[in-house]
């Protein structure tokens, strides 16, 4: 006997079913913060610990309300969350606020998931890109932020993002968590999970949802990227 199930055990065949995470896996919905205030060379954003710390723009607040409504409806419908995490930068707090008001979920700040530090380009990144700075094209080719002078080393950035995800998993084993983070962080998570370059997933829209499942053996599985159905 081979131990294989007998045909009579499945008289109607074995149906194809949707994938479900193991019971001990942690599901993390990575929400990119809403759009922030425009960059003005003569009116720089505030800084926190050497990083730009702008407020949400009006459209970013609308995006925060939209993603908050969607996730609050999921929570109320029984697809619940065990908590919300934000970073130490204000745009994540402001994006999480509508969801927190609607649900009363506990919130934790995880500074390890703050945006990549851009060195000499902090507070001027959009202007450099808009001006066609050749270093940005080189960063895209190399798949490394640290092509930018003074930017955070690639290995250090990946290590702290891993540590931040690890903190979520340790606090919410087997749970579902909303993590409001940054575009560069989402790109790094997707890169770590899939082996793709860090810029291959760098285009997550403001207010979008991406989904990571961390299984008990430490493996990372991507279930969703840049879901913007609530923003249409």
Q: What is the pLDDT of residues 41-65, one digit of tens each?
A: 788 889 899 999 999 999 999 999 9
* Cα-trace Rg, the chain: 20
Model pLDDT, residue 1: 45
What average pLDDT does the segment 18-46 reach? 91
Q: Which of 146, 136, 227, 217 minimizes the C-alpha distance to 188? A: 146
Model pLDDT, residue 202: 85
Model pLDDT, residue 43: 81
pLDDT over 70 at 7, yes or no: no
What average pLDDT does the segment 75-99 reach? 97
For the range 126-132, what are the long-range contacts, defined as Cβ-Cβ under 8 Å and sequence gap of 24 or more? 126/39, 127/39, 127/41
- Count of positions (residues) in the chain: 232
Over the stretch 117-157, which tens digit does the pLDDT of each residue have?
Answer: 999 999 999 999 999 999 999 999 999 999 999 999 999 99
Q: Which of 226, 219, 225, 224 minimizes the C-alpha distance to 22? A: 219
Residues 6+ apart with CB under 8 A from 105: 75, 81, 82, 83, 84, 99, 178
Residue 65 is encoded by which pair of tokens?
């309300």
Please state, in angstroms and rounded to a whole number, the distance separating the CA atoms of residues 223 and 212.
Answer: 6
Please state, in angstroms and rounded to a whole number, the distance separating the CA atoms of residues 173 and 179.
Answer: 15
Assess contact for 72 and 53: CB atoms under 8 A: no
User: Domain spans of the chain?
Assistant: 44-114+153-223
Confidence of residue 4 (pLDDT cuts 50, 70, 90): low
Over the stretch 164-213, which tens digit does the pLDDT of each residue have?
Answer: 999 999 999 999 999 999 999 999 999 999 999 999 998 899 999 999 99
Residue 123 is encoded by which pair of tokens?
């507070």
pLDDT over 60 at 3, yes or no: no
Of 227 and 217, the structure prediction assigns the larger pLDDT to 227
Q: Which of 59, 65, 72, 21 minimizes the C-alpha distance to 178? A: 72
* Angle subtended by helix axes 90-103 and 58-76, to nearest 10: 40
Helix, strand, or coil (residue 144): coil
Assess contact for 190 and 201: CB atoms under 8 A: yes
- Kindly report the pTM of this predicted structure: 0.92
Assess contact for 92 and 33: CB atoms under 8 A: yes
- The helix (H) or strand (E) run that includes residue 44 is none
Class of domain 44-114+153-223: alpha beta
What average pLDDT does the segment 101-108 reach? 98
């Amino acid at each position: 006997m081979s131990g294989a199930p007998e045909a009579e055990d499945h008289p109607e065949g074995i149906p194809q079913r949707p994938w479900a995470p193991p019971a001990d896996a942690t599901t993390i919905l990575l929400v990119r913060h809403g759009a922030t205030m425009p960059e003005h060379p003569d009116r720089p954003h505030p800084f926190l610990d050497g990083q730009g710390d702008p407020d949400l723009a009006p459209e970013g607040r609308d995006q925060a309300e939209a993603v908050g409504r969607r996730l609050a409806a999921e929570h109320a419908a029984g697809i619940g969350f065990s908590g919300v995490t934000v970073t130490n930068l204000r745009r994540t707090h402001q994006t999480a606020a509508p969801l927190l008001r609607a649900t009363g979920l506990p919130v934790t700040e995880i500074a390890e998931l703050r945006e990549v530090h851009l060195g000499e380009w902090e507070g001027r990144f959009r202007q450099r890109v808009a001006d066609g700075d050749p270093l940005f094209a080189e960063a895209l080719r190399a798949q490394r932020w640290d092509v930018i002078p003074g930017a955070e080393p690639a290995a250090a950035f990946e290590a702290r993002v891993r540590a931040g995800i690890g903190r979520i998993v340790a606090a919410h084993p087997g749970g579902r968590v909303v993590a409001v983070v940054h575009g560069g962080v989402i790109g790094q998570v997707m890169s770590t999970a899939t082996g793709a370059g860090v810029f291959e997933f760098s285009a997550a829209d403001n207010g979008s949802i991406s989904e990571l499942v961390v299984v008990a053996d430490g493996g990372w599985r991507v279930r969703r990227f840049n879901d913007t159905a609530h923003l249409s």
